[in-house]
């Protein structure tokens, strides 16, 4: 080892040029190394979403969702399958073990989905989503119209955000995705002239039949003219609203246009609802891609900085070769490694200095000093790496997440060791060609005097150290254990469950009244954000998990100390005005907390039926009022019951009658017009009361007119907000957050 070091220090130009070449390569590699907020870790979760067009949650679960779930249960490596079916969509969440190759798992999920599709009734288009840490939003922006708000002005802002601002943000180098929610769209509303319709002997079925006939597509026809063949395309006969209004209806000997019977208005349709400080706004989630004073010698300080800096740059080359990105975890490991790099350099410099003091030609001392510490430094580096080696072996989230940290520490130690044995001795020889002289160091002098005194009082000092060790071990038992570090609360986050069939407009009015009262008590500086109903975000965050008849509330006071009082005031105002609602406190949201604390609840109780669930809820609320309970409640509604005997007498097709009911109530579009990338629905303006709906006339195929109350009946029924299952076990699930209450006491 000594001869090798002598060989290097006698050829400083070769060593420096080689080091410079490695630095250049490392800098080039650093330029091509990806930069991200966190490691490119795929969350072991795949979500399958299926839109529910016109079925109840129960019917949708039995006819569609269960088939998907049965096939997905056959996948290998699935830890849990959770699904919830609502009146708007079904969401199937597949949780895999950490370390699963999610790209391969996604292919398997796609294969299973493709096997189910041919066996399903109607057209079903599921969407499959795989999540990664890089998809987590870093910044949320709120966009509002300036000045007086109006639906038309907000529609203009929605188009600007959706087609302008979103694209401009995503073109920035630092932005990966600009996810938006809260935009509004449009739809065409047909107001039917009922008197004119009845005077002509027509009804809604004639209009829907005319629209159905217009949807006929004959594809492409080949026309031959001599030696040439031309394609004649007759698809999309109806391409605009004017085309719909010009549709013809044959009434006896008269040929009428649809425009003679209906009036058309373009209405604004909110696709999702977001409020900022009580006013409608658009939320954009942006995903971003982001020692010398003790040495007392300028030359030795410069030597130390040069060696450590070179070791850092060389480690970039290892990053590139290993495919590791610059992220918070890998850079944290590199920062930890910097301290070890400095230690290595100081040890070599100190040992070289001891062997070179007073020598006119320090080359021999440099080689001897470096060779003496070569093996101890190697042993020290290996023992340090051994501490982090278990990170390579740990399974689950911890092993996957901190894999980059272990690698970066190993890279830093390796590059530091190589620089300490090659570059540092060479630079020392260049800096101290005339030898090195011993200087007075007051810090070393103070250390020697203190150590001499400590030797005289060995027993008292040893006793103090033993007491500190025992006391530290005892106090360590009182330190709280947490999966993730606590996140400082800067805002109050809560979720409201209305437990009523109310629209987003009604929920907006209720919350605006509550927030106005809170602002009067806590000052006008109180900022608020509200998400109502289903949101259109891509990332699986709390904002995405809002369902119909729910609301997510964010309140930001001027001082964080006001958050407890603000939470109490919100409970008092909201639950006092709407006692049937439930309000749940949400802890501060962060990406690592959502990953490390996957289960937001401490207990999960599965009841066999609705009655038993209500009994458990009542018992827990009475016994432990401090518990937070979350479950999908039931809303009051009606069940449509068909009179099969009357249908047989009048020879009425079930599907035709059900389509008529959906059209009548405005729940199914009469037509969908394509305008660019958007599909604009055409709906009837029918908001009927129960009696008016039952007195609507229906014309049979034989031409007879029958009132709907002769064919159907509306029976009051409690309709569940959703149907939940875990691993195909269906039940009424009650999720419990204990809030300090003993789980054993709750179970007893």
- pLDDT tens for each residue of 628-677: 777 776 667 777 888 888 888 888 888 888 877 777 766 666 666 666 56
Window from 43-47, 198-202, 673-677 with minimum mean pLDDT: 673-677
Which top CATH class is 492-610?
Answer: alpha beta
- Looking at residue 294, its pLDDT comes to 44
CA distances from 671 to 215, 240, 514, 668, 683 (A): 9, 11, 40, 9, 8
Residue 66 has pLDDT above 80, yes or no: yes
Tokens of 171: 């073109």
Query: Residue 443 pLDDT > 70, yes or no?
Result: no
Query: How far is the CA of 524 from the CAs of 531, 546, 556, in angstroms?
Result: 20, 27, 11
Higher pLDDT, 260 or 165: 165
User: What's the whole-number mean pLDDT along residues 712-734?
Assistant: 77
Percent of the chain at pLDDT exceeding 90: 0
Q: Percentage of the chain surpassing pLDDT 70?
A: 78
Whole-number mean pLDDT of the chain? 76
50 pLDDT tier (thresholds 50, 70, 90): confident
In this structure, of 317-326, 366-375, 570-579, 659-668, the range with the lowest mean pLDDT score is 659-668
CATH 3.30.230.10 fits 194-214+240-260+636-720, yes or no: no
Q: Which of 467-471, 533-537, 620-624 is the least confident region?
A: 533-537
Instruction: Assess whether pLDDT exceeds 80 at residue 731.
Output: no
Q: What is the 3-state secondary structure (H, E, C) of 345-358?
A: HHHHHHHHHHHHEC
pTM, two decimal places? 0.62
pLDDT winner (highest mean) among 212-216, 603-607, 666-670: 603-607
What pLDDT is stored for residue 398 in this prediction? Answer: 61
Report the 10 Å Cβ neighbour count for 715.
Answer: 9
Higher per-residue pLDDT: 202 or 153: 153
The residues with which 209 forms a beta bridge, in sequence order, are none
pLDDT tens-digit profile of 339-395? 777 878 888 887 887 777 656 567 777 888 888 888 888 888 887 777 777 766 665
Spatial distance between the Cα atoms of 680 and 685, rounded to a whole number of angstroms: 15
pLDDT-derived band at 295 (thresholds 50, 70, 90) equals very low
Burial class (CB in 10 A: 0-12, 13-18, 19+), 470: exposed
pLDDT confidence of residue 291 = 42
pLDDT score of 615 more than 70: yes
Tokens of 610: 């609705």
Architecture (CATH level 2) of domain 2-37+293-439? Up-down Bundle (1.20)
672 vs 679: CA distance, rounded Å = 6
Query: Coil, helix or strand for 423?
Result: helix
Closest listed residue to residue 301, CA positions, set 403, 431, 130, 184: 431
In this prediction, residue 287 carries a pLDDT of 72
Q: Give me the pLDDT at residue 742, please.
A: 77
């Amino acid at each position: 080892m000594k001869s090798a070091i002598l060989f290097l220090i006698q050829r400083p130009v070769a060593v420096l040029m080689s080091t410079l070449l490695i630095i250049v390569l490392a800098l080039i590699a650093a330029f091509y190394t990806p930069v991200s907020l966190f490691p490119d870790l795929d969350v072991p979760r795949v979500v399958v979403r299926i839109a529910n067009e016109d079925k109840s949650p129960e019917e949708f679960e039995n006819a569609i969702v269960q088939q998907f779930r049965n096939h997905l249960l056959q996948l290998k490596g699935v830890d849990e399958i959770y699904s919830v079916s609502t009146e708007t969509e079904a969401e199937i969440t597949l949780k895999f073990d950490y370390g699963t190759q999610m790209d391969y798992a996604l292919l398997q999920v796609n294969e299973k989905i493709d096997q189910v599709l041919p066996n399903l009734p109607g057209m079903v288009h599921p969407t499959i989503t795989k999540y990664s840490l890089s998809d987590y939003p870093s910044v949320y922006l709120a966009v509002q119209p300036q000045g007086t708000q109006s639906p038309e002005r907000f529609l203009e802002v929605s188009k600007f955000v959706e087609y302008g601002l979103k694209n401009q943000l995503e073109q920035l180098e630092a932005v990966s995705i600009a996810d938006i929610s809260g935009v509004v769209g449009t739809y065409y509303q047909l107001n039917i002239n009922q008197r004119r319709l009845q005077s002509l002997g027509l009804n809604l079925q004639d209009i829907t039949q005319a629209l159905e006939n217009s949807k006929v597509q004959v594809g492409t026809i080949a026309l031959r003219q001599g030696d040439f063949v031309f394609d004649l395309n007759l698809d999309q006969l109806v391409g605009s609203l004017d085309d719909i209004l010009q549709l013809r209806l044959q009434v006896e000997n008269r040929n009428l246009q649809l425009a003679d019977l209906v009036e058309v208005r373009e209405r604004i349709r909110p696709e999702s609802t977001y409020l900022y400080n009580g006013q409608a706004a658009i939320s954009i989630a942006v995903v971003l891609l982001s020692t010398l004073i003790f040495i007392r010698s300028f030359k030795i300080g410069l030597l130390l900085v040069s060696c450590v800096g070179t070791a850092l740059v060389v480690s970039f080359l290892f990053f590139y070769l290993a495919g590791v990105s610059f992220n918070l975890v890998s850079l944290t490991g590199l920062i930890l490694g910097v301290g070890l790099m400095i230690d290595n350099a100081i040890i070599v410099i100190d040992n070289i200095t001891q062997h070179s003091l007073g020598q006119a030609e320090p080359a021999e001392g440099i080689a001897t000093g470096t060779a003496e510490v070569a093996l101890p430094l190697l042993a020290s580096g290996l023992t340090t790496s051994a501490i982090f080696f278990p990170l390579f072996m740990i399974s689950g989230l911890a092993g996957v997440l901190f894999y980059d940290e272990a690698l970066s520490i190993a890279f830093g130690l390796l590059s530091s060791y190589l620089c300490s044995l090659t570059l540092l001795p060479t630079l020392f020889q260049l800096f101290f060609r005339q030898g090195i002289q011993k200087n007075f160091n007051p810090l070393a002098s103070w250390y020697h005097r203190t150590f001499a005194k400590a030797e005289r009082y060995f027993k008292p000092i040893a006793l103090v150290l033993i007491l500190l060790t025992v006391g530290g071990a005892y106090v360590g038992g009182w330190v709280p254990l947490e999966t993730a570090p606590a996140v400082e609360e800067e805002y109050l986050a809560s979720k409201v469950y209305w437990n009523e069939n109310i629209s987003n407009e009604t929920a907006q009015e209720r919350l605006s009244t509550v927030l106005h009262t809170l602002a009067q008590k806590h000052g006008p500086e109180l900022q608020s954000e509200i998400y109502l109903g289903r949101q259109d975000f891509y990332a699986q965050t709390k904002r995405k998990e809002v369902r119909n008849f729910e609301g997510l509330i964010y309140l930001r006071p001027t001082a964080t100390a006001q958050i407890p009082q603000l939470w109490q005031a919100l409970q008092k105002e909201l639950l006092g005005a709407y006692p049937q609602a439930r309000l749940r406190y949400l802890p501060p949201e962060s990406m690592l907390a959502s990953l490390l604390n996957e289960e937001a609840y401490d207990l999960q109780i599965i009841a066999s039926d609705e009655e038993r669930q209500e009994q458990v809820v009542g018992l827990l609320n009475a016994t432990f009022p401090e518990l937070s309970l979350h479950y999908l409640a039931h809303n009051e509604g009606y069940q449509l019951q068909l009179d099969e005997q009357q249908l047989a007498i009048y020879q009425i097709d079930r599907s035709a009658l059900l389509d008529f009911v959906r059209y009548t109530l405005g729940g199914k579009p009469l037509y969908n017009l394509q305008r660019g990338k958007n599909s604009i629905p055409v709906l009837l303006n029918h908001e009927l009361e129960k009696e008016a709906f039952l007195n609507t006339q229906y014309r049979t195929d034989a031409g007879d007119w029958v009132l709907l109350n002769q064919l159907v009946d509306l029976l009051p029924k409690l309709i569940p907000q959703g149907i939940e299952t875990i691993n195909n076990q269906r039940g009424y699930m009650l999720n419990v957050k204990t809030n300090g209450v003993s789980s054993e006491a709750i179970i007893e």
